[in-house]
Amino acid sequence: MPGHFEIDDSFISEQNQKSKDWVEEDFAALAKKLRRQQVDIEDLVGKAGGFRAAIPSWGVGTGGTRFARFPGEGEPRDIYEKLEDCGTICKLVRSTPAVSLHIPWDQPDDAARLREFARERGLHFDAMNSNTFQDQPGQAHSYKFGSLTHPDPAVRAQAIEHNVECIAIGRTLGSQAHTVWIGDGGNFPGQQHFRRALERYLESMREIYAALPDDWRMFIEHKFYEPAFYSTVINDWGTSYYCARELGPRAFCLVDLGHHAPNVNIEMIVARLIQFGKLAGFHFNDSKYGDDDLDAGSIKPFQLFLIFNELVDAELSQAPNFMPAYMLDQSHNVTDPIESLMMSAAELVRAYVQAHLVDRAALTEAQERCDPLMALHILKQAFTTDVAPILAVARERAGGAIDPIRVYRESAYRKRKGEERPAQKGAAASGIV
Ligand code: RM4
Ligand code: MN
Ligand code: MN
């Protein structure tokens, strides 16, 4: 897209000059403090610099609720503009070079061209996402009463075919994973035969699994309610785990943080899936009540830290089959999606670095000595350490912004996009997520 406004590297480094003093001072002070704990700050900068999470293609557009959607200025109008925004996010934070594509919301007209367009912006494609929870124009059969588990085999066949097509598109894009989330379930007791629905799910998924290229993984995403309000077919991690096992070694369980009942111990679910070699990865977001899709770390940062504590524990102990795919899955209804995604990406790195600060030898000792207070104290010590200077330095060394939100605002990117992307009259959002 020639002539489209971009934030250039020299602007970022100019802006970084303004923050240099405090960063250097705070970094030196933190290095000193960490030395007392026998921690080399450079190791943590390395960890921060190596962390990667994917941006969902649907996340850069303004989201909405079932009540309303309030479109923002200069929203991306197609997948190319969405990739422009993803490129901008990555330029500033440097930890998000992958995009997770949703089909058909962001169905490419020419997948090879899109891959090249992404590559030119330092981006590539992570897991594909299918959609059999909505009807598309011209579709032969409706998903009103389900897709992969629908009683009518013709509906199931259509949903299977859609998933197979997603894999084919993903192949051209260079993706290596396919995520299946279905809205199938029941709104009323008795509506659906629980066991029969799950049998049908497995039957359908076996066909999709058979279409996976050898070097691909399949991610099963569970969710306990919504859009079905009484029961869902893949309701929890136990059902997801059972299905992943039934399907085969390349099927894994994806954890979306918003897809559990309130107060569920998600970090423990994560540990279980790691132990069973079936953790696919995450859709990160945060919630107060349900599948709120709020920004990662905004409501329960300690929970996010505890999840990363399990992940880092698995990383350090080289747990088998441990290759988690990290993605954000949020709905930005009242913020600029680019700002939310940058902040959320930073929250993930923060939790990851803090989890690396846990004194694991001391924690094991406390656990073995049955000393709960000391165990909690060790975790809290890591969680309360302000690692912001580490994140800032890691970003800066990678060419990103010390303060991504400030640099983004200074650049007037959004205003420029508002001029470049006049709102299309009557254009609908790709979906309410
Ligand atoms: C679902 C689920 C899926 C996402 C859709 C839009 O609740 O989280 O991952 O693709 O929303
Ligand atoms: Mn999700
Ligand atoms: Mn969700």
- Summarised one tens digit per residue, pLDDT across range 177-218 is 999 999 999 999 999 999 999 999 999 999 999 999 999 999
Q: 171 vs 8, 63, 126, 178, 214, CA distance in Å?
A: 31, 28, 11, 10, 11
Q: If pLDDT is split at 50, 70 and 90, which confidence band does 387 have?
A: very high
- pLDDT number for residue 433: 66
222 lines ligand 1 (CB under 6 A): no
Q: If pLDDT is split at 50, 70 and 90, which confidence band does 358 have?
A: very high
Condensed to tens digits (0 to 9), the pLDDT of residues 409-425 reads 999 999 999 999 998 76
Q: Which residue, by CA, sits nearest to atom 9 of ligand 1?
A: 181
- pLDDT number for residue 3: 79
Question: What's the CA-to-centroid distance between 199 and ligand 3, angstroms?
Answer: 24
- Residues flanking ion ligand 3, Cβ below 5 Å: 256, 258, 291
- pLDDT number for residue 125: 98
- pLDDT number for residue 424: 72
- The answer for residues whose C-beta is within 8 angstroms of residue 93's C-beta and 6 or more apart is 342, 345, 346, 395, 400, 401, 404
Instruction: Say yes or no to pLDDT of 1 above 70.
Output: no
221 lines ligand 1 (CB under 6 A): yes
433 lines ligand 1 (CB under 6 A): yes
- pLDDT number for residue 327: 98
- pLDDT number for residue 425: 61
Question: Cis (ω within 30 of 0) for the bond into 104?
Answer: yes
Question: What's the CA-to-centroid distance between 224 and ligand 3, angstroms?
Answer: 10
Q: What share of the chain is helix, strand, coil (3-state, %, to 5)?
A: 50, 10, 40
DSSP E strand boundaries for 53-112: 54-56, 98-102
Kindly tell me the number of DSSP H helices and DSSP E strands found in the chain.
15, 10
Q: Mapped to the 3 state alphabet, what secondary structure does 6-18 carry?
A: CCCHHHHHHHHHH
CA of 431, closest atom in ligand 1 = 6
Q: State mean pLDDT over 144-157.
A: 98
- pLDDT number for residue 325: 98
130 lines ligand 1 (CB under 6 A): no
Q: State mean pLDDT over 92-104.
A: 98
- pLDDT number for residue 5: 97
DSSP state of 32: H
Q: 44 vs 308, 392, 395, CA distance in Å?
A: 14, 12, 12
Question: What's the CA-to-centroid distance between 41 and ligand 2, angstroms?
Answer: 34
Report which bound ligand comes closest to the CA of 294. 3
- pLDDT number for residue 423: 81
Question: What's the CA-to-centroid distance between 236 and ligand 3, angstroms?
Answer: 13
Question: What's the CA-to-centroid distance between 258 and ligand 2, angstroms?
Answer: 8
Instruction: Say yes or no to pLDDT of 235 above 70.
Output: yes
- Asked whether the CA dihedral 348, 226, 240, 267 is positive or negative, the reply is positive
Residue of 342, 351, 352, 348 lying closest to 401 (CA atoms): 342
Instruction: Say yes or no to pLDDT of 2 above 60.
Output: no
- pLDDT number for residue 46: 98
359: left (phi over 0), alpha (psi -120 to 50) or beta: beta
- pLDDT number for residue 233: 98
What is the percent of the chain where pLDDT is above 90?
97
Containing 328, the helix (H) or strand (E) segment is strand 325-328
Instruction: Say yes or no to pLDDT of 427 above 60.
Output: no
Measured distance CA(233)–CA(326) in Å, rounded: 24
219 lines ligand 1 (CB under 6 A): no
Question: What's the CA-to-centroid distance between 433 and ligand 1, angstroms?
Answer: 7
Q: Could you give the 3-state DSSP secondary structure of residue 180?
A: strand
Give, for ligand 1, the residue of 55, 57, 221, 240 to mutate: max count of ligand atoms closer than 8 Å to Cβ.
221
CA of 129, closest atom in ligand 1 = 10
Instruction: Say yes or no to pLDDT of 42 above 80.
Output: yes
- pLDDT number for residue 150: 98
293 lines ligand 1 (CB under 6 A): no
- pLDDT number for residue 400: 98
Instruction: Say yes or no to pLDDT of 76 above 80.
Output: yes
Question: Cis (ω within 30 of 0) for the bond into 97?
Answer: no
Question: What's the CA-to-centroid distance between 285 and ligand 1, angstroms?
Answer: 11
292 lines ligand 1 (CB under 6 A): no
